[in-house]
Structure 1
Amino acid sequence: MSRPSQSPSIFSSRWFLTVVVAAGMSGMFYCYSLAMRPLLKSPLETKAIHAVGWQPPINRPRENREIAIEHLSEQSWAADAKYQLRNKETYIYTNEWEQIEDGQAIRFHPFAMVIKSKNGKRPLTVVAESAYVRFQSKFSPTTPNPGKIISGALQGAVHIKGADGLVLDGRNFSFSESAQRIWSDHNVSFAFQEHYGKAMGIELELIPDKNPKKGSMLEVVGIRSIRLRRNVDMHLQTDTKKTDSVKPSTMKGVAEIAKHQSRMVQIRSAGSFDFSSTDNTAAFLQDVQVFQLTGQNQYDSLRCDRLTLFFKEKKKPLKKQHKNLQVVASEKNLPEKKASERKRRFQGISSNLEFQRLVAEGKNVLLISQKNDLKAKMNELIYDSTTRVVQLLHSKNVEVLQGLSQMRSPKITLLNDEKNRVQSVLCDGAGQMEHYDKKTGKLQFAVQWKEQLKKFPDAKSDLDIIELKKDVLLREPPRMMGLAANYMRLWVNRQATSSNRQSTERQSELRPQRILAIDNVAMLSPEMQAETDRLEIWFEQRETLPVAKEDSQQTNQQKQNKRTSPLFSPEEQPGNSANNNDKTLQTTKEPIQIDSKLIRVRVLRTKDGKQSQVAEVWAEGKVKVTQEHEGKEKPLSISGRRMHVVNHSEKSQNITIYGKPAHIFDRGMHMEGDEVHLDRKNNKAWIEGAGLLELPIERSLEGEKLKKTEMLDVLWKEKMVFDGQTANFYGDVSTEMDDSRLLCQHMEVQLTNRISFSETANSKERQKTEIKNIICQDGVKVKSREYLKNKLQSLREAGFWKLTVNQLTGKSIAEGPGWITVWRRGDGKPMRTSAIRTVQANQPVKTKKRKKWEYLRVDFSGKTSGNMKDRFTTFRNRVRVVYGPVDKPGVVIDSDKLPENAGWMRCKTLQLTQHEKTKTKKAYLEMVARGNAELDGNEFHARADSISFDESKDLYVLRSIGKQKATIWRQTNIAGDYSRADAQRMEFIPSRNKLKLDRTTGLQGVQ
Structure 2
Amino acid sequence: MEHRLGRTVRVFLVVLAAAGFHRLTVVPLVEPRVRDASAALEMSPEEAAAIRARADRRLAALGDVFPPGAWERDDPIMLESRQMRLLFKDYHSLPDGRVNLVPCTLVVLPDRNRVAVDGQAGRTIVLRAPQGAVLEFDEPLDLRAGRLAKLIGGSLRGQVTIRGTASAPGAEDDIEIVTRDVELDELEVRTGEMVQFRHGRSSGSGRGLAARLRPRAGPAGRGPNIGGVDVIRLDRDVSMRLEGLAGGLVPGGGAEPAPAGAGTDAAAPPVLVSCRGSMCLNVSASVITLEDHVDVVRATAGGATDQLSCDLLAILLGRRDKPAVPGEPAAVGRGGLQPVEIQAKGTPVVARSSGAELEARAARLGYEIATRRILLDGEEPVSLVARGSEMEARKIDYCPGPPGDPGSLMAVGPGWLRVRSEKSPPAQARWQQWLRMRPDGDGHVVSISGDADVSIETQGRLAAAEMHLWLDVVEPVPGALPARPAHGPDLSRVRPARLLARGMVEADAEQVAARTDRLELWFRQREPAPAPQAVAAAPAPA
Query: What residue in structure 1 maps to residue 71 of structure 2?
Result: 77
Let me know the Cα RMSD of the aligned residues: 4.9
Query: What residue in structure 2 maps to residue 128 of structure 1?
Result: 129
Measured after TM superposition, the shift of residue 392 of structure 1 is 0.6
Alignment partner of 2:101 out of 103, 107, 110: 107
Query: What residue in structure 2 maps to residue 141 of structure 1?
Result: 143
Alignment partner of 2:520 out of 515, 536, 540: 536
Spell out the pairing of 1:391-406 with structure 2 (5 A cutoff). Answer: 391-406=375-390
> In structure 2, what residue type is equivalent to 1:405?
S
Query: What residue in structure 2 maps to residue 476 of structure 1?
Result: 456
> In structure 2, what residue type is equivalent to 1:176?
D
Alignment partner of 2:426 out of 431, 439, 444: 444
**1:506 & 1:386 partners in 2: Cα distance?**
18
Query: What residue in structure 1 maps to residue 410 of structure 2?
Result: 426
> In structure 2, what residue type is equivalent to 1:226?
I
**2:291 & 2:493 partners in 1: Cα distance?**
40
Alignment partner of 2:350 out of 359, 366, 371: 366
Spell out the pairing of 1:600-611 with structure 2 (5 A cutoff). Answer: none
**1:193 & 1:274 partners in 2: Cα distance?**
18
**2:87 & 2:492 partners in 1: Cα distance?**
65
**1:63 & 1:510 partners in 2: Cα distance?**
71
CA contact (8 A) 2:80 2:147 kept: no
CA contact (8 A) 1:78 1:112 kept: no
Give the stretch that moved more between structures: 530-539 or 66-75. 66-75
Query: What residue in structure 2 maps to residue 248 of structure 1?
Result: none
Aligned CA distance change for structure 1 residues 207 and 92 (closer, same or farther; 3 Å): closer
**1:225 & 1:59 partners in 2: Cα distance?**
37
CA contact (8 A) 2:276 2:292 kept: yes
Query: What residue in structure 1 maps to residue 393 of structure 2?
Result: 409
3-state SS, counterpart of residue 297 of structure 1: coil
3-state SS, counterpart of residue 73 of structure 2: helix
**1:453 & 1:124 partners in 2: Cα distance?**
53
Aligned CA distance change for structure 1 residues 410 and 168 (closer, same or farther; 3 Å): same
Measured after TM superposition, the shift of residue 188 of structure 1 is 2.9
> In structure 2, what residue type is equivalent to 1:482?
R
> In structure 1, what residue type is equivalent to 2:99?
A
3-state SS, counterpart of residue 350 of structure 2: strand
Alignment partner of 2:239 out of 221, 230, 233: 233
**2:369 & 2:223 partners in 1: Cα distance?**
41
Query: What residue in structure 1 maps to residue 177 of structure 2?
Result: 169
Aligned CA distance change for structure 1 residues 168 and 503 (closer, same or farther; 3 Å): closer
Aligned CA distance change for structure 1 residues 309 and 206 (closer, same or farther; 3 Å): same
**1:224 & 1:97 partners in 2: Cα distance?**
31
CA contact (8 A) 1:188 1:198 kept: yes
> In structure 1, what residue type is equivalent to 2:100?
I
3-state SS, counterpart of residue 95 of structure 1: strand
**1:261 & 1:386 partners in 2: Cα distance?**
18
Query: What residue in structure 1 maps to residue 161 of structure 2?
Result: 158
Aligned CA distance change for structure 1 residues 493 and 75 (closer, same or farther; 3 Å): farther
3-state SS, counterpart of residue 392 of structure 1: strand
Measured after TM superposition, the shift of residue 508 of structure 1 is 4.6
Measured after TM superposition, the shift of residue 91 of structure 1 is 6.1
Q: Tell me how many residue pairs correspond in the alignment.
A: 433
**1:261 & 1:153 partners in 2: Cα distance?**
43
CA contact (8 A) 1:102 1:138 kept: no
Measured after TM superposition, the shift of residue 366 of structure 1 is 0.8
Alignment partner of 1:188 out of 181, 195, 214: 195
Spell out the pairing of 1:892-903 with structure 2 (5 A cutoff). Answer: none
Spell out the pairing of 1:511-530 with structure 2 (5 A cutoff). Answer: 512-530=496-514
Aligned CA distance change for structure 1 residues 276 and 492 (closer, same or farther; 3 Å): same
3-state SS, counterpart of residue 542 of structure 1: coil
| Greater Cα radius of gyration, structure 1 or 2 | 1
Bigger fraction of residues in strand: 1
> In structure 1, what residue type is equivalent to 2:505?
V
Aligned CA distance change for structure 1 residues 128 and 56 (closer, same or farther; 3 Å): farther
Measured after TM superposition, the shift of residue 272 of structure 1 is 1.1
**1:60 & 1:144 partners in 2: Cα distance?**
8
Alignment partner of 1:465 out of 424, 434, 445: 445
**2:444 & 2:178 partners in 1: Cα distance?**
53
> Is residue 218 of structure 1 aligned with residue 221 of structure 2?
no
Aligned CA distance change for structure 1 residues 466 and 496 (closer, same or farther; 3 Å): farther
> Is residue 273 of structure 1 aligned with residue 279 of structure 2?
yes
Measured after TM superposition, the shift of residue 364 of structure 1 is 1.0
> Is residue 205 of structure 1 aligned with residue 212 of structure 2?
yes
> In structure 2, what residue type is equivalent to 1:128?
A
Measured after TM superposition, the shift of residue 519 of structure 1 is 1.5
Aligned CA distance change for structure 1 residues 511 and 300 (closer, same or farther; 3 Å): farther
CA contact (8 A) 2:80 2:148 kept: no
Query: What residue in structure 2 maps to residue 872 of structure 1?
Result: none
Query: What residue in structure 2 maps to residue 680 of structure 1?
Result: none
3-state SS, counterpart of residue 525 of structure 2: strand
> In structure 1, what residue type is equivalent to 2:436?
K
Bigger fraction of residues in helix: 2
Query: What residue in structure 2 maps to residue 284 of structure 1?
Result: 290
> In structure 1, what residue type is equivalent to 2:208?
G
> In structure 2, what residue type is equivalent to 1:170?
V
CA contact (8 A) 1:106 1:133 kept: yes
CA contact (8 A) 1:134 1:150 kept: yes
> In structure 1, what residue type is equivalent to 2:461?
G
Deviations 1:510-536 (A, max 9, x none): 753432222112222223333222222
> Is residue 96 of structure 1 aligned with residue 103 of structure 2?
no
> Is residue 486 of structure 1 aligned with residue 477 of structure 2?
no
Measured after TM superposition, the shift of residue 53 of structure 1 is 5.6
Measured after TM superposition, the shift of residue 212 of structure 1 is 7.5
CA contact (8 A) 2:410 2:434 kept: yes
Aligned CA distance change for structure 1 residues 74 and 508 (closer, same or farther; 3 Å): farther
**1:82 & 1:387 partners in 2: Cα distance?**
53
3-state SS, counterpart of residue 78 of structure 1: helix
CA contact (8 A) 1:90 1:113 kept: yes
3-state SS, counterpart of residue 379 of structure 1: strand
**1:299 & 1:399 partners in 2: Cα distance?**
20
3-state SS, counterpart of residue 540 of structure 1: coil
Aligned CA distance change for structure 1 residues 199 and 418 (closer, same or farther; 3 Å): farther
- Kindly, what percent of the aligned residue pairs are identical? 21
**1:67 & 1:297 partners in 2: Cα distance?**
51
